[in-house]
């Protein structure tokens, strides 16, 4: 799993995406980066437990589908820090991700971003590293963070929503102009198990038409696994 933050996401392997931003940078960590990548999302859950997310892809650009993502927490070697594995989608769509010992960050967030970046590469022929860089810069320099309120488990929940449009001011946007309005949203709350409620990306269609693409990952349930 390789997503470029300037600092390693809490408890996840610091390679690829985690190192691409450069640990030596003097730039302060933004509130959005702190919320997404420097927060212990798993502090409110205890292993053994499975977090189940519903994945939905819709829109007029190409056929959609519904699938699931499972984040499985087992008791880890360090007290209070689980061993985490993730099953991201199923069948031919499944993305292989490494397990993490002593995890604190919720891997569903990075799993969604890596899947989305792979889709951008497939659809545009562009570089995965370039799309990672645009998302990283947007989170560091242009993210909007606002209060969020939603319902989970029949109860009102308070959280924070982070939103970015990484291609809005992209100097190379003419290479994939159709994707300039693409918007990413992240809904984070310590009041839901695993800290990550929803991650999504949306690409609007021409005025008056249906969206070209809408992908969402939403927490739907937790299952206390047998020891």
Average confidence score pLDDT of the chain: 86
pLDDT tens per residue, range 35-86: 999 999 999 999 999 999 999 999 999 999 999 999 999 987 766 678 999 9
In this prediction, residue 63 carries a pLDDT of 93
CB 141 within 8 A of CB 30: yes
In this prediction, residue 52 carries a pLDDT of 98
In this prediction, residue 34 carries a pLDDT of 94
CB 55 within 8 A of CB 216: yes
In this prediction, residue 211 carries a pLDDT of 86
In this prediction, residue 176 carries a pLDDT of 86
Q: And the tokens for 59? A: 């829109």
Which of the residues in the chain have pLDDT under 50? 1-26
- Strand stretches in 59-195, DSSP E: 65-74, 83-88, 100-101, 144-152, 155-164, 183-188
In this prediction, residue 18 carries a pLDDT of 45
In this prediction, residue 201 carries a pLDDT of 97
In this prediction, residue 226 carries a pLDDT of 64
Cβ contacts of 100-103, under 8 Å, gap ≥ 24: 100/11, 100/12, 100/13, 101/76, 101/77, 102/11, 102/76, 102/77, 102/78, 103/11, 103/12, 103/42, 103/73, 103/76
Closest CA to 96 of 197, 185, 2: 2
């Amino acid at each position: 799993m390789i997503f470029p933050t300037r600092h390693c996401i809490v408890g996840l392997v610091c390679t690829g995406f985690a190192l691409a931003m450069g640990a030596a940078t003097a730039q302060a960590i933004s509130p959005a980066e702190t919320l997404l990548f420097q927060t212990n999302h798993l502090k409110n859950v205890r292993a053994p437990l499975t977090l189940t997310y519903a994945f939905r892809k819709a829109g007029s650009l190409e056929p959609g589908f519904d699938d699931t993502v499972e984040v499985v927490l087992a008791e880890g070697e360090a007290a209070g820090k689980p061993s985490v594995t993730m099953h991201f989608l199923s069948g031919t769509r499944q993305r292989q991700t490494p397990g993490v010992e002593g995890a604190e960050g919720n891997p569903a967030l990075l799993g969604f971003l890596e899947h989305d970046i792979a889709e951008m590469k497939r659809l545009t022929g562009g570089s995965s590293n370039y799309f990672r860089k645009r998302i990283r810069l947007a989170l560091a320099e242009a993210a909007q963070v606002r209060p969020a309120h939603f319902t989970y488990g029949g109860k009102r929940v308070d959280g924070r929503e982070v939103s970015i449009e990484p291609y809005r001011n992209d100097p190379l946007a003419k290479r994939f102009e159709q994707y300039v309005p693409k918007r990413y949203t992240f809904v984070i709350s310590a009041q839901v198990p695993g800290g990550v409620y929803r991650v999504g990306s949306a690409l609007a269609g021409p005025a008056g038409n249906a969206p070209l693409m809408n992908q969402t990952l939403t927490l739907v349930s937790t299952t206390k696994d047998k020891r």
